[in-house]
Amino acid sequence: MFKVVLDTNIYVSALLKRGGKPDQILRLIEKYQLFCSEEILEETHRVLHYPRIKRKYKLKEREIEEHLLYIRSIATIISSLPKVNVIKEDPKDNVILACAQAARADFIVSGDKHLRKLGSYQSIRIISPAEFLKMLK
């Protein structure tokens, strides 16, 4: 079974666009082992609270909290992350690499250009949601 770390943008998109590729990935959880960290959950929480996002998608606090609880319920939470300083253009992306490294993940699934540009990190492949979904189906 694949060990996988999903980028924050996957969690955000899964809530904002039901039925989209990120949402489908979360619904196929029985096909892979998901790893996450408190830092990734905090960033997801922060992004979902951006005023423009809450306004545009009319998110209710309860929906956000339920989504974060769902992620916690399906993921193994990594509590101690190594220091990683690979992505200089967007340093907060390094937490995704750190989580994947700590989990000894096979894949990082991301739509983020900085992560995708790497292609891989310590033999962990960085792939798009579409690529990962194709593998799961």
Q: For 10-25, what is each residue's pLDDT tens digit? A: 999 999 999 999 999 9
HEC string of 15-35 equals: HHCCCCHHHHHHHCHHHEEEE
Domains of the chain in sequence order: 2-136 (3.40.50.1010)
* Whole-prediction pTM: 0.95
Q: List the Cα angle 54/56/57 in 5-degree steps.
A: 65
Q: For 51-73, what is each residue's pLDDT tens digit? A: 999 899 999 999 999 999 999 99
